[in-house]
Every structure is written in C-alpha cells, then in structure tokens.
Structure 1
Amino acid sequence: MTQNIKTEQLTQAGQQIEHDSFAIVDREAGAHHYTGAQWQVVRRMIHATADFEFNGLAEFSDDAVEAGIAAILNGAPIIADVEMICVGLSKPRLAHFGMHTHQFIADDDVIADAKRVNSTRAVQAMRKAARLDLLNGGIVAVGNAPTALLEVLRLIEEEGVKPALIVGMPVGFVSAAESKDALSASKNIPWLITRGRKGGSTLVVAALHAILSLAESRQQNG
C-alpha cells in the first residue's frame, strides 16, 4: 500500500507513535460493525480522545465516507461552527487539496444579527455561510453548537441548500443529542454523527483528518 505523504505525521518518530497508537486502538476496541473506511474514521476519533465508547457512538449514513472523499478531492470548503475546528485542521493537508476553512461565529454582523432577532450567533453564522453560497457542495463541521446544526437542517429543508457532507458532533446538554438525531433522519444529505451528548471540536477534526487521509490514498491509487 502506498504511504500517504501529506496526511501523515511529518517525522518518522511521529509516524511511528501514531501507527503504534492505532495498533493499540485496533487491539483493544473489540468487535465493531463498521466498514474498513468507517473504522479508519472511528479509530482516529478514539485515538484523539482515548475514549473507546466512540466504537458504537459514531454513526454514518451509508454514503458519508465516499461523499467526504469526493468533496475533498473537489477542494470543497469546510464551514465550521467554531474557530477551534479551523485551527485544529492541518493547513498543509488542506492546502494539498486546495481546501479552505470558514467560520463566522465572531463576525460583527453575525453578532449584531443575533442580538437583533434574539437568536444565537451560531444560527446567524450558518445563515451567513448560506448567503455566501458556501454550504452548497461544502463540508459542514459542527462540534460545539447544536443550534448551528439545526439551522443547517432548516436551510436544507426550507431553502434547498445541499452540503456535500455534514459532520455533526455538537457536545452538550441542551439540544445536542436531539440535533444529531434530527440529522440522522435526513435522507438526502450524507452525515457523520456521534450519538448522545458526547462530541466536540476535537472529534470533528479527527474525523476530517481521517477522511483527508482516505482521500489522499484514493488520489495516489487512482
């Protein structure tokens, strides 16, 4: 198998530590129901958190991984709910595919709109992304704000936007589990979620890095 260059650790020592960590995850995780490609995503999520509960909590639509690979190979934008996701994603890995990240949660106009209509900044940030036509064909990455995910679902239903993939992993106690349940009921948009209250930006970054790696393998192997 051809070794990935752009989506591996930059040093041999780093690569060895990561590969050894993946081997431990594979050995200790036990049985799972995921496909080979899905497991590469899940085990990276476990690797990032040392939490084996994601073997089971992570769920995919049937076409999620393939849709993510295709979007990456097309240089799709990533629209995140919070800056932490944008900071966590490897810039060299994204640059290899000509990808850019976007987040609008702290923009002055977003804050002003949220105050004016008494909504959340996350809702207004996703509305801004829709106005800029970033959601159509983009990868939506939500790790913090359930209201961002619910707004994207509304935009899909009412305004016909069509992301290439939604990575929906908001963490928390208010609407986090419910927003992911609503996403998993979607029939037309590929999705990747974590069931229940667990989630977070770290998991979203890990999942996207795994799909970036799968995309590079596809690229190299034709």
Structure 2
Amino acid sequence: MEWTETLCRETGIRFLTTRPSEIEAASFAIIKEELGQEFLKACPQDQLPVLCRVIHTTADFSYKESLYFSEDAVSKGREALASGIPIITDTTMAASGINKTAAAAHGIQVRCFIGDEDVKEAARESGITRSAVSVDKAARLYPDCIYAVGNAPTALMRLYEKIRTGEIRPRLVVGVPVGFVNVVEAKELILSAGVPCIVARGRKGGSNVAAAICNALLYDRKV
C-alpha cells in the first residue's frame, strides 16, 4: 500500500494517509509489527486472526497474554457457524457490532433477548438480572448456539448452571464481560464448564470485544 505524509501546519503534527479501503489492512500490519515475529511464529495460526481483531478493536496488546482459547475453540466455532446455528449475545451493543452481512451469508441469526418484555417481567418477578433470564430463554429456544457475553458476568454464571443441567449446550462460549464484580470469577467458572470457549481472563473485555471475536470467526481466515 502507498502512504502519503500530511503535515498540519498549525500544530506541526504529521499524519500518514492512505486510501480508505486500505486503512484496516494498514492497522493489521501495524498490529503484527508490534506483536513481533517471535510472537507471530509461536501463536497458533487459527487464533491469530481472532487476537488481532480484538487488538484492532481495543488497541490493547495485553490481550495477547489474557485471551484464552480452549482446545480447537476456533475451528469448532467456525464449524458451528458454517452449520448456521444462531449467535446469542447478552447485549444489544454486542449484537449490533456483529457483521450482519457475514452472518447472513451463513444463514445465521444474531439474537439478544435483554430487551424482551417477557425477560423484563421474569427478571422483576425473580429478582435476578435480565442477562441471567435471557440465558433461560436461550436455553428454551436455542440450546444449540454460540453464546457471546461481553457485559454481564451473571450471564456466564447462568450459562454454567444450564450447561451443568444439560438445558443448553453452546457450541462455543465467548466469555469477555468487563467490570469488577464477579467478572474474573465468572470467567474462570466458564473455563470449567466443559464446552469450547474463548475467554478474556481478568477484568477486561466488553461488548465490542465479544462482537470482534464473533466477526473474526465469521470472516477472518488469516491476517
């Protein structure tokens, strides 16, 4: 790609510009350069596109240490998507961030139940979070799914319970909620659930990270 240097005369700041269609490729080139050749050689090649897209979304290179992949998680996730199973998310933000064109190419529905009236009512009556109730609804409607959690540790905790009872069996859990209360613990819990998972260990994560991982599985084969 060709770069052009532009100078802002008022500030003296220099910018590198390229064609809009090449900006993403340029970003990934920078990410790979900063990760370094030693890391790139050591990183499993199916995991690298997922990691790079998370870093692209967050500009946070600490994910190269904290993003955990269970055995064959990427290949199992892609196989599940190729079969057309739905992606369930814990937030509308995560659902909005998933590439609908790429999902539609596989006949995949992207669903989030957090705003459904029956979920709101059940949460009020039971005194538990809407995120947990959403897992209950997913277990009834889509027990075979990919479940992506970017915000609510209670969703991961409920998933663990439902997996243990056999009411839901996600083909992949994306466990990347962000925060301070029960976040670390819920992530560690899902690691012991016996299902394929991609988990951002520690406090970091977010709906944007959950969407980035799903997008990487949908359309990134290499970077």
Which TM-score bucket, shorter chain as reference? Answer: 0.7 to 0.9
For residues 43-73 of structure 1, give each alpha carbon's deviation from its aligned partner in whole angstroms, at most 9, with x where no partner exists: 1100111111111110100120011110111
Partner of 1:135: 143
- How far has the Cα of 1:214 moved from its partner? 3.9
CA contact (8 A) 2:147 2:170 kept: yes
Looking at structure 2, the residues matched to 13 and 176 of structure 1 have their Cα atoms a distance apart, in angstroms, of 40
Q: Which fold has the larger relative contact order, with Cα–Cα distance below 8 Å and residues 6 or more apart in sequence?
A: 1
User: What is the identity, as a one-letter code, of the residue corresponding to 2:33?
Assistant: R
* Unmatched runs of 5 consecutive residues or more in structure 1: 1-11, 218-222
Of 37, 44, 58, the match for 1:35 = 44
**SS of aligned partner of 2:46:** helix
Of 160, 163, 171, the match for 1:156 = 163
TM-score for both structures, normalised by structure 1 = 0.86
CA contact (8 A) 1:139 1:164 kept: yes
Partner of 2:28: 22
User: What is the identity, as a one-letter code, of the residue corresponding to 1:16?
Assistant: E
Looking at structure 2, the residues matched to 159 and 59 of structure 1 have their Cα atoms a distance apart, in angstroms, of 24
Is 1:72 paired with 2:81? yes
Number of aligned residues: 202
- How far has the Cα of 1:80 moved from its partner? 0.5
* Unmatched runs of 5 consecutive residues or more in structure 2: 1-17
Looking at structure 1, the residues matched to 21 and 192 of structure 2 have their Cα atoms a distance apart, in angstroms, of 38
| Residues 31-180 of structure 1 mapped to structure 2, 5 A cutoff | 31-32=38-39, 33-132=42-141, 134-136=142-144, 138-180=145-187
Q: Considering only CA atoms, is the larger Rg found in Structure 1 or Structure 2?
A: 2
CA contact (8 A) 1:129 1:135 kept: yes
Which is further off, 13-22 or 102-111?
A: 13-22
- How far has the Cα of 1:97 moved from its partner? 0.8
For residues 140-187 of structure 1, give each alpha carbon's deviation from its aligned partner in whole angstroms, at most 9, with x where no partner exists: 000000001110111000234211100000110011111111111233
Partner of 1:193: 199
Runs of 4+ in 1 over 2 A off after TM superposition: 12-15, 30-34
